[in-house]
Amino acid sequence: MEAFVNAVLLTLLAVVTVAVIRQRSMFGVVILAGIYSFLMASVMVALDAVDVAMTEASVGAGISTIVFLATLHLTNTRENPRPRNVMLPLFVSGVVGAALIWGTFTLPPFGIADAPIHMHTVPHYLQQSIRETGVPNVVTAVLADYRSFDTLGEVTVIFTGGIGVMLLLKGRRRRQDRNGGISGT
Amino acid sequence: MKLDVILRIGVKLILPFLLLFAFYVHFHGEYGPGGGFQAGVMSAAMVILYGLIFGIDAAKRVVPQRFVELLIPIGVLLYVAAGIPAFFEGHRFLDYGVLSDDAVQGRVLGVLIIETGVLITVAGAMTAIFYAFAERGRG
């Protein structure tokens, strides 16, 4: 049953990806990207990674879609004509894809319990986290306590991102018509 | 403007539950999935949804732009502040055990404080980005 659900979700992901590539209207691309995020969130639920699924659904499908739509309002909604020579992009994506698939050959089997990553600190977290931190959810205990410094870095990234967008968009407005941009009305 | 009555009433009905769910996700993050980040995104989504339906000016009257932009650094500072007290007791940065007499209670408190910091920064940043885009769109 789980294999069937995964197969359906991954097939839909591939279909949406092809649809994104073929879509010329940027509006359609944004909506398809939102659908892709929701499918990805469903895959995360199937993998029992509920925290990631929640983030993917709210940020990937929610906020990102809004921000993309707002960007379309500022720029053009049609994609520029396709470049004539498709051989180089095809070659690059083919080589990168092959390298990624080649890399998976040396990974331990999927979902196996004694993979190296589960042998190092994970047993300690699973057995001791509630006694040491008092937080029943191990994910929260790792993110907010054991790896608190990483989370501080992530918050700083969001801080920097917010400040960066505000600097870019809220600066003094210059009334010049950018290439293909909207002329201020 | 008359035809969107369903949207307006629907959004008005949804908003309080959205905020309630955001707080549930935040305070329940120690037990179930979620935490400050997801709760922050949901709080921002509430303001964004209100702004989309009732207009950006109405949203700014409820949640002023200046306030939202102030939230971004406040969250980071709150996070860092949770780590400072450890210095005075000879512990390492972000060792929350010192926040209470009982080390485990201190760590629970520390997790709650930093999750609140994450919530404040994320909610502020997402809403500020939305405001910046909406303002620019008026050109």
Confidence of residue A8 (pLDDT cuts 50, 70, 90): very high
Read off the pLDDT of each residue in A26-33 and give the average, rounded to a whole number: 92
Within a domain: residue A105? Answer: no
Within a domain: residue A157? Answer: yes
A56 and A3 within one domain: yes
A72 and A1 within one domain: yes
Interval A106-147: pLDDT, tens: 888 887 888 888 888 888 888 888 888 888 888 888 888 888
ipTM rounded to 2 decimals: 0.88
Within a domain: residue A108? Answer: no
Task: Identify the weakest region by mean pLDDT among A26-35, A146-155, A173-182, B61-70.
Answer: A173-182
Read off the pLDDT of each residue in B38-46 and give the average, rounded to a whole number: 93
CB neighbour list of residue B122: distance below 8 Å, 6 or more residues apart: A155, A158, B36, B37, B40, B41, B44, B75
- What integer pLDDT is reported at residue B139 of this predicted model? 58
Q: Residue B54 pLDDT more than 70?
A: yes
- What integer pLDDT is reported at residue A162 of this predicted model? 92
Read off the pLDDT of each residue in A153-180 and give the average, rounded to a whole number: 78
* Backbone dihedral angles phi then psi of residue A115, each to the nearest 5 degrees: -65, 150
A8 and A73 within one domain: yes
Record: contact A54-B75, CB cut-off 8 A: no
What is the domain count for chain A? Answer: 2
A141 and A70 within one domain: no
The mean pLDDT of chain B is: 88
User: Domain ends where: A28, A56, A77?
Assistant: A77
CA dihedral B41, B133, B52, B47 (to 10 degrees): 30
Task: Tell me what percent of the residues of chain B surpass a pLDDT of 90.
Answer: 53
Give residue limits of the domains in chain B: 5-138
Record: contact B31-A185, CB cut-off 8 A: no
Query: Cβ of A59 under 8 Å from any chain B Cβ?
Result: yes
Nearest to B137 among A53, A70, A152 (CB): A70
Within a domain: residue A160? Answer: yes
Interval B69-113: pLDDT, tens: 999 999 999 999 988 888 888 888 888 888 888 888 888 888 899
- Please count the residue pairs, one from chain A and one from chain B, whose beta carbons lie less than 8 angstroms apart: 144
CB-based contacts of A128-136 (< 8 A; 24+ apart in sequence)? A131/B104, A132/B104, A132/B107, A133/B104, A133/B107, A133/B108, A133/B111, A134/B104, A134/B105, A134/B107, A134/B108, A135/B30, A135/B107, A135/B108, A135/B111, A136/B30, A136/B31
Q: Which residue has the tokens 């307006």?
A: B8
Record: contact A159-B76, CB cut-off 8 A: yes
d(CA A81, CA A78): 9
Record: contact B32-A137, CB cut-off 8 A: yes
The pair of three-digit structure tokens given for residue A154, joined into one six-digit string: 């992530």
Task: Tell me what percent of the residues of chain B surpass a pLDDT of 70.
Answer: 96
Residue A96 C-alpha from the chain's centroid: 19
A124 and A57 within one domain: no
| DSSP class per residue in B57-110 | HHHHHHS-HHHHHHHHHHHHHHHHHHHTHHHHTT--TT-GGGGSSSHHHHHHHH
Read off the pLDDT of each residue in A161-167 and give the average, rounded to a whole number: 91
Residue range of the domain that includes A21: 1-77
The mean pLDDT of chain A is: 85
More confident residue, B119 or A129: B119
Within a domain: residue A183? Answer: no
- What integer pLDDT is reported at residue A181 of this predicted model? 46
Query: Cβ of A68 under 8 Å from any chain B Cβ?
Result: no
Confidence of residue A185 (pLDDT cuts 50, 70, 90): very low
Nearest to B128 among A62, A162, A168 (CB): A162
